[in-house]
Amino acid sequence: MQVLSELLSPVRTVSRAPGSSKKRLFEILARVISEDNPHLVDTDIFAQLIARERLGSTGLGAGIAIPHCRIANCSEPIGCLATLEEAIDFDAPDDIPVDILFVLLVPEEAHQAHLDILARIARLFSQSDFCEQLRSAPDSETLYRRATGWTA
């Protein structure tokens, strides 16, 4: 099964998200996640994403970032996909600004599952055709369908 269909919901898929910085974008996406998962608090999500980012950039290169963290009160892995209105600096290894983000939250105790899911997501986002399909999505509904329906 395709990994994104296991992690995403239409509500947690945002096309052309605003955000002028990494921190501002994390605030916006933390709110999107918490509105869909009331047991998760947006300020906790934000704090954990920032703490993880301080350890090293989650920018992969080619305009892709996969911010991720383990978080309390998270009962199963969940994701949030966003394309950005304008690419932002993410300290990626290739210095290319990021315009696609996939935020991954996993339960605190899910160490191996965290790594396994990250690897699957990274492989998916390394496919340039997949990323171009996401970048060209005109709205959130299309973005969700393209992300979860990808089979290549």
Taking Cα atoms as reference points, which of 6, 13, 7 lies closest to residue 83? 13
Q: Residue with structure tokens 């790594």?
A: 115
Q: Are 49 and 70 in contact (CB under 8 A)?
A: no
pTM above 0.85, yes or no: yes
Where the chain has pLDDT below 70, the residues are 1, 111, 152
91: domain CATH number is 3.40.930.10
- The pLDDT score that the predictor gives to residue 115 is 83
Q: DSSP state, 77?
A: -
Domain that holds residue 18: 3-149
Active-site positions? 68
pLDDT at 152: 61
Count of structural domains within the chain: 1
Residue 108 confidence (pLDDT): 84
